[in-house]
Amino acid sequence: MSTAQRTIGVCNGGGDCPGLNAVIRAVVRTAINEFGWTVVGVKNGFNGLIWPEQSEELTLESIRGILPRGGTILGTTNRGNPFNFGVEENGKIVMQDFSKQCMENMSRMGIDALVVIGGDGTLHIANEFSKLGMNVVGVPKTIDNDLEATEITFGFDTALHVATDAIDRLHTTAESHHRVMLVEVMGREAGWIALHSGIAGGADVILIPEIPFTIETVCESIRRREAGGRDFCVVVVAEGAKLPGKDAHGKAMPDARPGQVANSIGYAIREAMDKEVRVTVLGHVQRGGSPSPFDRILSTRFGAHAVELVARKDYGKMVCLRAGKIESVPIDTAVGACKLVDPECDYVTAARAIGITFGDRVE
Ligand code: F6P
């Protein structure tokens, strides 16, 4: 198939995520093979529209070999909102609106439509540009899997594999040393990575933001395991898990930032029990490295469909997965709608049924 010669752009913003390169590859291949268009890679999120000289044409040759590569060949930033962009003036950072400049630069670059790959923040910016008349199509990305408009985002499956592998490894050392092992996983305000990896890794306790827990209950489930002859315990903690106001002795537990949540809980367990406790914070390991086959496939389907939407001039839409099929929704309705774990969902009930505790009651 071919339509009139066009030039489209592709950019990604926010945190990187396994599968970004697979989307870029699918966009470039579909645009060139199916439509005979030219594709420009816009660098470092929307910054590439503020400084267009950073951008470069993406060809079949230049994208060769990127399918299994983590990260993004375009570079990215999560400090790149052109509507509110910090610039240094007389030693101070002042916020400026570069949106008009981006619109002008895009037309100067000859780009008539932009495929924007991003999470909620980036898609929000894409939506603002769409309202100004920019032709945009969105592709949802995040390891957190917290976008309501799509059943799954690419990157989640890879993060899940990394987290599950870590839990498997912690299991064996927890058992050898009779320890309580806590592992903190990412996910922002949502407990998807913790819930899925906790089930897949056979965790004993899973703590997620959506289910309030107490330290006493966590300690009680560790004691009950011990009474049953299992003197070790694996606790998966979502980075967004909300610390209870008080520890097991009624002492105040101050709020902790992501990256420090499992340490706070580990400290409180150590204070309450005569157990050796160790904490692992997985961090950005979950976001790096090669995408899983599932993520490569989903990314490819998303990227190809995004170009189809551009071909149809069906702008202001975001591709998504629904009932296993690739569809699209207005970006306007997709942004700001965060998907959280329903505490009554069957993942939680199945986990409870097999004896996993969520720290709210002992199973
Ligand atoms: O949204 C993806 C994510 O990895 C979250 O899970 C995590 O909280 C955050 O990004 C980390 O962001 P940064 O890379 O800025 O530290």
Pocket test for ligand 1, best of 186, 195, 237, 284 (most atoms within 8 A of CB): 186
Cβ(225) – ligand 1 distance below 6 Å: no
Pairing of strands 205-207, 233-238: parallel
* CA–CA gap between residue 215 and residue 254 (Å, rounded): 13
Buried b (16+ CB within 10 A) or exposed e, 211-230: bebbbbbbbbbbeebeeeee
* CA–CA gap between residue 314 and residue 37 (Å, rounded): 17
Q: What is the mean pLDDT of residues 86-102?
A: 94
Atom of ligand 1 nearest to the CA of 286: 4
**DSSP category for residue 71:** S
What contacts 23, CB < 8 A, 6 or more positions away? 12, 117, 139, 141, 154, 299, 300, 302, 303, 306
- pLDDT on residue 106: 97
Both structure tokens of 102: 């981006």
- pLDDT on residue 5: 82
Cβ(99) – ligand 1 distance below 6 Å: no
Give yes or no for a contact between 359 and 207, defined as CB atoms under 8 angstroms apart: yes
pLDDT at 8 over 90: yes
Nearest to 58, CA basis, from 86, 30, 85, 82: 30
- State the chain's mean pLDDT as an integer: 96
56 CA to centre of ligand 1 in angstroms: 27
pLDDT at 300 over 80: yes
Cβ(102) – ligand 1 distance below 6 Å: no
CA 194, 162, 277, 230: dihedral to nearest 10 degrees? 80
Alpha carbon separation from 73 to 8, 46, 59, 290 (Å, rounded): 17, 15, 13, 13
Both structure tokens of 238: 């979502």
Give the residue whose CA is nearest to atom 15 of ligand 1. 15
Q: What is the mean pLDDT of residues 295-317?
A: 98
Q: What is the mean pLDDT of residues 110-121?
A: 96
- pLDDT on residue 126: 98
Cβ(144) – ligand 1 distance below 6 Å: yes
Q: Please spell the DSSP secondary structure of 76-145, one letter per residue.
A: --SS--TTSEEEEETTEEEEE--HHHHHHHHHHTT--EEEEEE-HHHHHHHHHHHHTT--EEEEEB-TT-
pLDDT, tens digit, for every residue of 274-292?
Answer: 999 999 999 999 999 999 9
Cβ(187) – ligand 1 distance below 6 Å: yes
Catalytic residues: 144
Nearest to 146, CA basis, from 82, 195, 213: 195
pLDDT at 3 over 70: no
- pLDDT on residue 333: 96
